[in-house]
Amino acid sequence: MKLYPFFFLLLLFTFFTACGDQSATEAETEETTEAEVTEATDFGGLALYTLRDTMAGDPKGVLQQVADLGYKNVEAAGYRDGKFYGMDPAEFGAYLAEVGLNPISSHHGDISTDNVDQVVADAKAAGFQYVVIPVPPMGAFGFNRETRTMVMNQDIETVMGNINAIAQRVKAGGLQCLYHNHDFEFKENEDGIVPMDYFIENSDPEVLNFQMDLYWVTKAGADPLDYFAKAPGRFIAWHVKDMDDEGRFAPVGEGTIDFKRILDAKDQSGMKFYLVEQDQCFKHTPLEAIAISHDGLKNIGFE
């Protein structure tokens, strides 16, 4: 009879210990679920060129909004005088980390063989992995006002030589170099040469690869899948933007481009990351457009 109190205490101890374990398990489950939800909604990339005017007034505030919308990676397009959006490279990288954004690539329209080393040093200091040549460099990019079309106004051998020289220096500096297309690279020039074909055939994949703008290649009448087959593994990045019925830029999922078909070929393309971009917004503000595009990415199946 004297053992009963002992067994009673043992029973109470077992009960409360089990409750404690259950509470801990429930807490862990809640934490896991919350982490999974966060991971599931934090994806995709944004080319900040879309927000170039919006960024001008309050870059830090806008970047916070980009993070709040669920974007993960960002591509800069606001480098001037050694700064990104008015911030020193290290400050810019630190702020991106603070709001949960990853600096993945940076566009440099004014890159040349004279300034490439400084560009690379600053891009590295900000945490970027890729330097992107967004147009034919060193004065080779122009705009024909009569036809209202973009043009390459130097011979293709000179352009390719400058692109390769810049890419070599980017690699030597420890980053990767990509070339970004518009539509004219997919159209025959006056010599019957398709510039994109020439760039592929006359560059080293160990030094230079490509960022395919899916809108512009479609605008040119070319098929992205044909180029994935022609140069498998070399289209490391994509710009994802849609096209409306008038041929204008549109938020992802509100246009006519069959992204699912393109996404099915991502392995052949070599795509490692992708970025929403919209050069101009017609029916929405830029922030509204990128919010719609982020939802569109999810609906299409981008991860």
Whole-number Å distance between alpha carbons of 246 and 13: 73
- Higher pLDDT residue, 5 or 112? 112
Same domain assignment for residues 93 and 129: yes
Would you state the pLDDT for residue 33?
37
Q: Percent of the chain having pLDDT more than 70? A: 87
Would you state the pLDDT for residue 185?
98
Same domain assignment for residues 12 and 61: no
Q: How confident is the model at residue 20 (pLDDT cuts 50, 70, 90)?
A: very low
Would you state the pLDDT for residue 213?
98
Same domain assignment for residues 28 and 80: no
Same domain assignment for residues 12 and 85: no
Give the 3-state secondary structure percentages of the chain, helix then strand then coil, rounded to 5.
50, 20, 35
Six-digit token pair at 69? 């919308």
- Higher pLDDT residue, 148 or 14? 148
Same domain assignment for residues 80 and 222: yes
Same domain assignment for residues 240 and 171: yes
Residue 192 has pLDDT above 90, yes or no: yes
Q: How confident is the model at residue 38 (pLDDT cuts 50, 70, 90)?
A: very low
Give me the CATH number covering residue 246.
3.20.20.150
Same domain assignment for residues 68 and 157: yes
Q: How many domains does the chain have?
A: 2
> Which structural domain, as residue segments, surrounds residue 27?
1-40
Q: How confident is the model at residue 21 (pLDDT cuts 50, 70, 90)?
A: very low
How much is the mean pLDDT over the chain? 89
> Sign (positive/negative) of CA torsion 136, 280, 256, 270?
positive
Same domain assignment for residues 32 and 74: no
In this prediction, residues 23-31 reach a mean pLDDT of: 40
Alpha helices (H) in the chain, listed in sequence order: 4-41, 52-57, 59-68, 89-99, 116-126, 156-172, 195-201, 214-219, 224-230, 259-263, 266-269, 286-300
Same domain assignment for residues 31 and 137: no
Same domain assignment for residues 96 and 23: no
Would you state the pLDDT for residue 86?
97
- Higher pLDDT residue, 21 or 277? 277
Q: pLDDT tens digits for 90-127?
A: 999 999 999 999 999 999 999 999 999 999 999 999 99
Same domain assignment for residues 195 and 226: yes
